[in-house]
């Protein structure tokens, strides 16, 4: 049984180094798996905008499309570092290891544990010139229902939200709360992106209205 540790009552849970080493072969398999994926942008102009943009962005995608986020970042964001918000919970400890395999750096926290600090850390990360990644429906859902954190980060940082949707061809869906989707090796994945300006993201509307608008925009690039 793999032991998940927490150094203090307020610290995030994490796997021990011993168990990270034991899981290393799975990380190698994951890297080989995603390296075979063929990305195809539906809009080539949007692809050029993503590649040429040298400003930090808030990469925003639903939790069940997370499998390819790190590989997509590596190929199309020019080696720019990306940081992702991960819950400080026990489940988050596993996800932190997965993020490491995909090349995404972890910022631990959630709306329930360290939330305000996590938001400040994300804003600071953007201001230092790095991308960040957020799954707006969080780690527990409900599926396809955004939470306020992504809007707050956008408003405080003025960084644009880069909405991403992956449409998988050959795929498998896990029996999880969000039907997490995993593409088969060597399959083709269609990519849709849409940029949302954060400067006026909540101007003239409530947070609930802003979240509803974000849900609709993100669903427009997400094909189930």
Per-residue pLDDT of the chain (224 residues; tens, 9 = 90+): 555 555 544 566 666 777 777 788 988 999 999 999 999 999 999 999 999 999 999 999 999 999 999 999 999 998 799 999 877 777 677 778 888 888 899 887 764 444 678 889 999 999 999 999 999 998 788 999 999 999 999 999 999 999 999 999 899 999 999 999 999 999 999 999 999 998 878 888 899 999 999 999 999 999 98
What string of DSSP letters covers 158-190? -PPEEEEEEEESSEEE-SSTT--EEEPTT-EEE
Domains of the chain: 4-220 (3.40.1130)
Handedness of CA 95, 70, 33, 100 (dihedral sign): negative
What is the rounded CA–CA span in Å between residue 191 and residue 44? 10
What is the rounded CA–CA span in Å between residue 189 and residue 177? 23
Q: Does pTM top 0.85 for this prediction?
A: yes
What is the rounded CA–CA span in Å between residue 185 and residue 194? 26
Helix (H) or strand (E) holding 195: strand 188-196
Q: Which two tokens stand for residue 162?
A: 């880069």
> Could you report the per-residue pLDDT of 134-153, keeping only the tens digit for each?
999 987 889 999 999 999 99
Nearest Cα to Cα of residue 119 among 72, 58, 74, 50: 58
Predicted local confidence at residue 5, as pLDDT: 54
What is the rounded CA–CA span in Å between residue 90 and residue 5? 9
Predicted local confidence at residue 9, as pLDDT: 46
Predicted local confidence at residue 146, as pLDDT: 95
> Could you report the per-residue pLDDT of 33-55, keeping only the tens digit for each?
999 999 999 999 999 999 999 99
Asked whether 191 and 163 are in contact (CB, 8 A), the reply is no
Token look-up 């083709």 returns: 188
């Amino acid at each position: 049984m793999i032991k998940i540790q927490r150094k203090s009552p307020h610290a995030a849970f994490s796997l021990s180094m011993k168990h990270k080493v034991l899981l290393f072969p799975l990380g190698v398999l994951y890297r080989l798996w995603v390296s075979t994926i063929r990305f195809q942008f539906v809009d080539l102009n949007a692809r050029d905008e993503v590649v040429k943009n040298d400003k930090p962005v808030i990469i925003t995608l639903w939790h069940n499309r997370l499998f390819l986020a790190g590989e997509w970042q590596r190929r199309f964001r020019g080696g720019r570092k990306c940081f992702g918000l991960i819950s400080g919970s026990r489940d988050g400890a596993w996800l932190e290891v997965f993020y490491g395999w995909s090349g995404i750096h972890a910022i631990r926290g959630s709306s329930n544990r360290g939330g305000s600090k996590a938001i400040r850390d994300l804003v600071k990360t953007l201001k230092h010139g790095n991308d960040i990644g957020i799954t707006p429906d969080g780690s527990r859902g409900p599926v396809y229902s955004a939470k306020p954190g992504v809007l707050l980060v956008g408003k405080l940082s003025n960084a644009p939200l880069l909405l991403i949707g992956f449409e998988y061809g050959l795929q498998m869906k896990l029996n999880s709360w969000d039907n997490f989707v995993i593409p088969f090796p060597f399959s083709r994945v269609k990519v849709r992106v849409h940029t949302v300006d954060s400067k006026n993201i909540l101007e003239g509307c409530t947070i609930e209205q802003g979240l509803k608008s974000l849900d609709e925009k993100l669903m427009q690039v997400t094909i189930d």
